Amino acid sequence: MINGQDLLKSFVDLKLKKTESAFPVFFCGEDECVVYNQLTGSTHLINGIGTEIFRAISENASTRSDLLQNLDSIFDFPVDFDVEGFLDNLILEYHKLGLLDVMENSLA
């Protein structure tokens, strides 16, 4: 497991997948996802970029660069918006909540 934004940025790429320890249940609609953590009983309503993260990892593990490329094709970000930084913060937050696992991508 990777903890901390410095470590997150130190890898060329990351592999993300839904965590197995929390047995999260995903329900994704058009604009939002509901993620239920069966271990904690917490329910999270996630929208925007977060929805696309969970949509991507709900079936298969995904890499950070795949997510960035996918987000670029879906959203029209302002030129000065730090998409990578925003994505990294979301990934870390979802990891801390036990909703996804972050690991070094052995193929990178």
- pLDDT digits over 41-80, tens only? 889 999 989 998 888 877 777 888 888 999 999 999 999 9
pTM for the structure as a whole = 0.77
Alpha-carbon distance of 52 to 9, in angstroms, equals 20
Read off the DSSP letter of residue 77. -
In a 10 Å sphere around its CB, with 0-12 CB exposed, 13-18 middle and 19+ buried, how is residue 13 labelled?
A: middle
Read off the DSSP letter of residue 108. -
- The residue written with tokens 């929805």 in the block is 51
Amino acid making up residue 64: R
